[in-house]
Structure 1
Amino acid sequence: MKSEITILGLGAGDLDQLPLGVYKKLKQASLCLVRTMEHPVINELSAEGVIFESFDHIYQKHEMFEKVYEEISETLLSRAEREPVIYAVPGHPMVAEKTVQLLLENGPERDISIKIDGGQSFLDPLFKALKIDPIDGFQLLDGTALSKDDLHTNQHMIIGQVYDSFVASDVKLTLMEKLPDDHEVYIVKAAGSKEEVIKKVILYELDRQMEELSNLTSVYVPPVENEVYRYKEFSKLREIIAVLRSPNGCPWDKKQTHKSLKPYLIEEAYELIDAIDDEDDDGMIGELGDVLLQVMLHSQIAEDEGMFTVDDVIEGISAKMVRRHPHVFGNVQVEGTEDVLENWQRIKAEERAEEGNTEKSLLDGVGRALPSLIRGFELQKRAANVGFDWKDVSGAWDKVKEEISELEIEFNKQHNTDDIKNELGDLFFALVNVSRFYGIQAEEAMNATNRKFYNRFTYIESLVKQSGKPFSDYTLEELDRFWEQAKAKGY
């Protein structure tokens, strides 16, 4: 006889909801294995003489539900290799039943036939009990594996598998990452049965109000009505940007182009750098938002023109990150940062070759719009990768001294502004080379010095202002003493 497991659904409530065919098979079974005895039908059928054997004891053995389900399914498969098995689960076998999915996945590999027979899902009586129409959009989520990224707060959310207070607490904390603490939710038990209970509670009290938890307990979260609570969702941001660019949107946003937005992107990037340097978390939130706004505006402009969408942008960067990190998402072995960077450059070159974008020069990939100090750093790094570099920093230092000498010569000449500019450029480039040897980005070093100068000079300004005299009344020596004071105070 071929090995076989027949899976029956016990429905969502009491015996009145059980399909007749399922009832007959349960009555005819000499023994029925059940995931849990916690179901009203089991009590009624036991009274009619049906013998059940449960897996409740396995829940006590493991901390993770995955392990519980794995052991139950393995026990069932092993037993089916000896004799036909009748296995019953709450609700419908194909709704929120991980053990059934494991049996369907692993049974055929062991030549075990898996048959699914009826049972009423808890969803129909739940919709009826709550008086909601699923056509409006709903989510069925697993309370034991709930993630805030799964939540769509503009839809009806039904969270099942809320077995105990620990799961209820995790559900509450996850929901509170997107919803206000006082959002109203509903605890629903045994919907459609004689034991039906619907209890409205405030979200932050969810785990305190679930006194009697069972396999028939679900949490219902109504859609949010206040759009402010959707501001954390990417879909809402996308919707807002689309409205701003729509015919009835903002005149300024509607007239923007990729080119007109270029200055704003640069400005927002540098304002973010300021917030990072200030270690200002709130400032970073705001400035990162402004940078993201630029990404969204450019993507919306492209979508309006039929070129691409923000989905294409996200797909592109996701694919690139997976492709260029084979040591994380694949089976490539690396030993340290150097291997990672080498793999990155090799994969990048392969991508360009496949796209037909082979560069005439190794330096062609360095952006021409980069700030000059950053571009100089990147040009030098590209050249260094193929061996065009000083052996150590001493060579770079000697070059700095050479450029200073050449600059001094030009200073002593007359009417030679262009030559002085050229020599200044050479000196800056040589200093960038020194900073590269020390692993310092010259642009960041210069930015830090600008900030330092700003802080010290504004300190001098404050002292001058306090004195009631104008700057012109102070000698350079006096102002320099103020500078030293600012320096001593750590400005």
Structure 2
Amino acid sequence: MEANQYIITVVGLGAGDLDQLPYGIYRTLKQAAHLYLRTQEHPVVAELAAENISYSSFDAIYEQHESFEDVYTDIVEKLFVSAEQQGAIVYAVPGHPLVAERTVQLLLEQGPDRGVRIEIGGGQSFIDPLFARLKIDPIEGFSLLDGTALKADQVSPGLHTIIAQVYDAFVASDVKLTLMEVLPDDFLVTVATAVGVAGQECVETVPLYELDRLDHFGNLSLVYVPPARDERISYRQFSYLKDIVAVLRSPEGCPWDREQTHQSIRKNLIEETYEVLETIDDEDPDAMCEELGDLLMQIMLHSQMASEDGYFTVDDVVATLNEKLIRRHPHVFGEKNANDSEEALANWQEIKAQEKAAKGIDTTVQSQLAGIPRDLPALMYAYKLQKKAAQVGFDWDDVADVYGKVEEEYRELREAAVEERAGELGDLLFAVVNLARFLKLDPEEALALTNNKFKQRFSYIEDKLREAGKSFEDTDLKEMDQWWEEAKQHGKRRG
């Protein structure tokens, strides 16, 4: 037989019984020389059997695979083989062939390469009787999702949501857990099975946490999630955050927010970053959650301002980040390999160099020290300067030389004239940063540890003064030094 003379005609069995089946589809089923069913678990099938219409079903395949995608792939392969052997076959699926039918999509995708023509014969979707039964107007907006592959980011709480392919309690359990990432546990959802089928219809509304406890799941089951109006749900939506920030900056919004510019809130971005770092050091996840929100607010404000000026939106920020992450991780999203962090970093650096070249930046004439943010804290800036210089060989050979340099700078500071002390102190600090690098320590983190240690010990002195009913005016350095030593011992015992 010539290419594309093999034919698979796909028809839908509808959402109800034989009385609801269009006559043209009924005739196709009755006249089919080779009829295949994705599943025989459908009200129409028993009535077809009563009329002595023969068929083959693929129900047994569901028990042979662990994933639905493997089941669908197997069914499609068997359909192609049957079509190539028999010339023309009819394949019947529940509902409409083009609504929530993965096997049909696979047939349409692969048919041309297999030399098989796929003809869609129509059918009634299960959506229509569900809309009628639940009195839903789809013009309000709805989404149709696959329960076997549901992801939280697919769920739009403001829309009517219909989840198909909820065959059994196992799928229902997965659906429940995914929905709980977006909705409260007690949110009311409806399970509708065999809608419009006399004697089989079952519609039940339950709290989300009870979804998988129902006993009437099957091939004709759907889960309906109504639009959510609860603020608890809106608060979790990124789109709601964008709306709030836009309102704050609008003429009807907050006078303070409207007055701000990129420059006026520049320092806020730095302050919020340090507040996040503080929660990390304190190992306080609740505080970290709140402070990360404050930091995100700064990003949202800058993005909103840029949007108002016509430069970019926060969606552009997200898109740019996503693109960069994928581009710079070819060992994850591409064909390159990275067996350890050093190879991954090498990939990253190579791609960064390519990006600079694409922007017209000649890295051969660019300073080796370029690329360090100039507003970094001086300690961190010094650390990065030294790392950059070390990459091209401008570095000490041995840590003993670094210790010697620290001692040299210390002597020069002690001997320096008053007007030279600032420069000499800077030289000493720079040498100490070098020592930290050789010891594989981050000087910023090391100093932060000491700052916290100082605060704790000084607080101990303050506590002792309060216990004694004294103030700093009532004590002297000797007494404070004694408490300081106590604080050191107290810290060791606690550690």
Range with bigger deviation, 40-49 or 154-163:
40-49
Cα deviations across residues 141-194 of structure 1 (Å, max 9, x unaligned)?
111111111111111110000000011111111111111111111111122332
Q: Tell me, what secondary structure is at the counterpart of 2:335? A: coil
Cα deviations across residues 312-341 of structure 1 (Å, max 9, x unaligned)?
111111111111111111111234222222
Asked if residue 470 in structure 1 is aligned to residue 471 in structure 2, the reply is yes
Q: Tell me, what secondary structure is at the counterpart of 2:265? A: helix
Residue 151 (structure 1) aligned to one of 149, 155, 158: 155
| Partner Cα separation in structure 2 for residue 436 and residue 344 of structure 1 | 22
Is the CA contact (8 Å cut-off) linking 2:6 and 2:84 kept in structure 1? yes
Cα deviations across residues 268-314 of structure 1 (Å, max 9, x unaligned)?
11111110011111011011111111111100111111111001111
Range with bigger deviation, 151-160 or 470-479:
470-479
Asked if residue 393 in structure 1 is aligned to residue 399 in structure 2, the reply is yes
| Partner Cα separation in structure 1 for residue 112 and residue 400 of structure 2 | 69
Q: Tell me, what secondary structure is at the counterpart of 1:489? A: helix
Partner of 2:480: 479
Partner of 1:236: 240
| Partner Cα separation in structure 2 for residue 393 and residue 240 of structure 1 | 54
Partner of 1:489: 490
Deviation >6 Å, runs of 4+: none
Corresponding letter in the other structure for 2:131: F
Question: 1:438: how far off?
Answer: 2.7
Partner of 1:342: 346
TM-score (norm 1): 0.96
Question: 1:478: how far off?
Answer: 1.8
Question: 1:442: how far off?
Answer: 1.3
Which aligned pairs between 1:73-472 and structure 2 lie closer than 5 A?
A: 73-83=76-86, 84-194=88-198, 195-209=200-214, 211-358=215-362, 360-410=366-416, 413=417, 416=418, 418-472=419-473
Range with bigger deviation, 319-328 or 339-348:
339-348
| Partner Cα separation in structure 2 for residue 331 and residue 216 of structure 1 | 42
Range with bigger deviation, 186-195 or 289-298:
186-195
Corresponding letter in the other structure for 1:338: E
Partner of 1:13: 16
Is the CA contact (8 Å cut-off) linking 1:139 and 1:158 kept in structure 2? yes
Q: CA 1:374–1:16 in structure 2 vs 1: closer, same or farther (change >3 Å)?
A: same
Corresponding letter in the other structure for 2:414: E
Q: Tell me, what secondary structure is at the counterpart of 2:263? A: helix
Asked if residue 53 in structure 1 is aligned to residue 56 in structure 2, the reply is yes
Question: 1:479: how far off?
Answer: 1.2
Cα deviations across residues 205-235 of structure 1 (Å, max 9, x unaligned)?
11112x1111110000001112231211111
TM-score (norm 2): 0.95
Question: 1:454: how far off?
Answer: 0.8
Q: CA 1:236–1:102 in structure 2 vs 1: closer, same or farther (change >3 Å)?
A: same
Question: 1:247: how far off?
Answer: 1.1
Question: 1:45: how far off?
Answer: 1.4
| Partner Cα separation in structure 2 for residue 162 and residue 326 of structure 1 | 36
Q: Tell me, what secondary structure is at the counterpart of 1:107? A: helix
Is the CA contact (8 Å cut-off) linking 1:31 and 1:50 kept in structure 2? no
Range with bigger deviation, 1-10 or 273-282:
1-10
| Partner Cα separation in structure 1 for residue 482 and residue 362 of structure 2 | 58
Residues paired across the two proteins, number: 485
Asked if residue 40 in structure 1 is aligned to residue 46 in structure 2, the reply is no
Partner of 1:30: 33
Is the CA contact (8 Å cut-off) linking 2:33 and 2:89 kept in structure 1? no
Question: 1:485: how far off?
Answer: 1.7
Q: Tell me, what secondary structure is at the counterpart of 2:26? A: helix
Question: 1:424: how far off?
Answer: 0.7
Is the CA contact (8 Å cut-off) linking 2:8 and 2:90 kept in structure 1? yes
Is the CA contact (8 Å cut-off) linking 1:141 and 1:158 kept in structure 2? yes
Q: CA 1:345–1:31 in structure 2 vs 1: closer, same or farther (change >3 Å)?
A: closer
Question: 1:386: how far off?
Answer: 1.5
Corresponding letter in the other structure for 2:44: V
Question: 1:392: how far off?
Answer: 3.4
Is the CA contact (8 Å cut-off) linking 2:32 and 2:89 kept in structure 1? no
| Partner Cα separation in structure 1 for residue 79 and residue 443 of structure 2 | 66
Q: Tell me, what secondary structure is at the counterpart of 1:8? A: strand
Corresponding letter in the other structure for 1:394: A
Corresponding letter in the other structure for 1:18: L
Please list every run of 5 or more consecutive structure 2 residues that lacks an aligned counterpart in the other structure: none
User: What fraction of aligned residue pairs are identical, expressed as a percent?
Assistant: 55
Is the CA contact (8 Å cut-off) linking 2:202 and 2:216 kept in structure 1? no
Is the CA contact (8 Å cut-off) linking 1:30 and 1:50 kept in structure 2? no
Is the CA contact (8 Å cut-off) linking 1:241 and 1:297 kept in structure 2? yes
Corresponding letter in the other structure for 2:471: P
Q: Tell me, what secondary structure is at the counterpart of 2:402? A: helix
Corresponding letter in the other structure for 2:106: L
Cα deviations across residues 342-395 of structure 1 (Å, max 9, x unaligned)?
222222122122112346412231111111111111111111122211223333
Is the CA contact (8 Å cut-off) linking 1:184 and 1:202 kept in structure 2? yes
| Partner Cα separation in structure 2 for residue 19 and residue 394 of structure 1 | 90
| Partner Cα separation in structure 1 for residue 428 and residue 399 of structure 2 | 15
Corresponding letter in the other structure for 1:65: F
Question: 1:255: how far off?
Answer: 1.0
Q: CA 1:121–1:392 in structure 2 vs 1: closer, same or farther (change >3 Å)?
A: farther
Q: CA 1:391–1:344 in structure 2 vs 1: closer, same or farther (change >3 Å)?
A: farther
| Partner Cα separation in structure 1 for residue 323 and residue 149 of structure 2 | 26
Corresponding letter in the other structure for 1:137: G
Residue 69 (structure 1) aligned to one of 64, 72, 93: 72
